[in-house]
Homo-oligomer: A and B are copies of this chain.
Amino acid sequence: MRNLQHKLSVARGEQPAELLFKNARVVNVLSGEVHPANVAVDDGRVVGFGDYDAKRVVDLGGRFLAPSFIEGHFHVESTMLTIPELCRAVVPHGTGAMVIDPHEYANVLGLDGIRYVLESSRGLPIDFFIMLPSCVPATSLESAGARLTADDLRLMIRDERVAGIAELMNYPGVYLGWESELAKIEAGKGKAIDGHAPGLRGKNLNAYVLAGVRSDHESTELDEAREKLRLGMHVLLREGSTERNLEHLAPLVTPANASNCSFATDDKLASDLVREGHLDHSVRKAIQHGVPPITALQMATINPARHYRLRNFGAIAPRFWADFVVFEDLENIQVQQTWKRGELIAQDGKFLGALPPVVPLPRSTMNLRYTPAQLDVPAIGAGAIKVIDLVVNQIVTRKALLPPKIVKGCVVADPSRDILKLVVVERHRATGNVGVGFVRGFKLRKGALASTVAHDAHNVVVVGVSDEDILTAIAALVKMQGGIVAVADGQVQAALALPIAGLVSDQPLDRVMQDVSALDAAAHALGCDLPAPFMSLSFVSLSPIPELKLTDQGLIDAVKMEVTPLFT
């Protein structure tokens, strides 16, 4: 970077700028208007509006020039892509900066996982800012790879790319004033403190905010979002692969309160990002549902930049990074070009930038210890068993009480009634923990599906008809050092290796999308009719979410928050 004196002389017009965008219609998110301007850029930054000489001129011919988009809350692991490959997916959609919460990396690898994310997200075509995961592990009823306390968070909070403390999901712990949770908020003092309080209202919400939580992205009801906004929370309107709250919440936003609103994607599959879009999709949808275009663009740019204190991001004005998008229609924004620090990095949907090689993860995260006999379920009880009953497209489950099928003194799967065996094997520290239960909803007629993506502890989770296929699936995952697999008749039908923490592929975007499609096809060929079989599988171990779950510690009554026996 050349120095400020040089840029000042360019701004004064004494030397030519590197680059001039001529005949732009600038979306000025600061003055809240569109105005014509020529925008001079030097050394990666905007230096001024005006009639400047430049070494290179880009004539926009009246097209719109807006700041590139900023993500407010995202889990990169949900794409199963390395962070560079994520750039390939979203840069053509105009994404310029992302605030990410490496919650899954942290559950598997603790501080090492956060350091890996910091390292592998450096120097890319998107600027990444990291929120420190605040709830690792999710509960004591699942065995994650790490435990993070306020002391751990304090070790990393001063990093200039750390923007604050990530979603405080233990919201009762916060509003009840648990010292462990208040200490995490205190650790983030002076930076952003993100919340996560689905459905929380009234006095307990008052206390949650009073404790220092400054944002929320979990509102599903308009009244809920309005209450949070009134209490001073920055409200992130979420639009992900499955959680889609934007249409419902759009009426909340007015020009008079929009500075307290931004967009979040939270979790979105790579294929959805590529096909549907990222924040460009949120902007389009907000405009379709009545948010004025300038307001929607403020929510995608300057508002998250200010909330997360991302210096010199989110606007087109002197000192700001020359991170732009170019488009033709303000009412239906389709990004034609994405610019980063004055370089064209995507054009007409094509990523043009260079990406660094994959940063290898320093260690294996597959440390299993189990024996086939641990899969046996002795029929020691009488009467019904508690079966996890899936709810399509939701992460909550129900509890079904059903008569077991018993063979040779053991409870076994009964595909004729869609009762399949579910197994969770601890994979972080070779504890030998194995949980076994039963689940209804996958409808496999044979074979097994398995994954090392299993929120939040990310142990090995397998659903299957026979113990043989379940064991084959586990062995395949071990061999791949983590991943997702469909097996049948003792053979792998489809697989995606996720050698990075058992969460992320080391392969390029296209390959990952192909493999995910093949996995879904294989699951469907085995009889499963869920829209996203492996996503459903990844949530059956998430112990804090009602009603019945299975972790490596056993069957979990997620209402009473305790281990519960299989038999009633």
Query: Which residues from chain A sit less than 8 Å from chain B, CB to CB?
Result: 4-5, 7-9, 11-13, 28, 30-33, 35, 40, 45, 47-50, 52, 175-177, 182, 202-204, 206-207, 209-212, 226, 229-232, 254-260, 292, 294-295, 298, 306, 315, 317-320
Contacts and interface: CB of A to CB of B under 8 A. Distances in A.
Contacts of A306: 306
A8 B207 contact: yes
Given A256-B294, A317-B232, A175 B32 contact: no
Contacts of A318: 206-207, 209-210, 231-232
Contacts of A45: 210
A317 B207 contact: no
A229 B204 CA distance: 40
Main SS of the interface on chain A? mixed
A191 to B, nearest CB: 12
Given A8-B207, A13-B203, 11 more contacts: A4-B211, A8-B176, A12-B206, A12-B207, A31-B229, A31-B260, A40-B206, A50-B203, A231-B318, A232-B315, A255-B256
A13 B201 CA distance: 13
Contacts of A12: 175-176, 203-204, 206-207
Contact of A9 (B49, B177, B182, B212): B177
B210 A175 contact: no
Given A177-B5, A211-B4, A256 B33 contact: yes
B30 A182 contact: no
A317 B230 contact: yes
Given A211-B8, A230-B317, A259-B259, A206 B30 contact: no
Nearest to A257: B32
A150 B81 CA distance: 48
A48 B203 contact: yes
Interface centre among A5, A30, A175, A320 (most CB of B within 10 A): A30
A328 to B, nearest CB: 22
A4 B206 CA distance: 13
A227 to B, nearest CB: 8
Contact of A254 (B32, B50, B177): B32
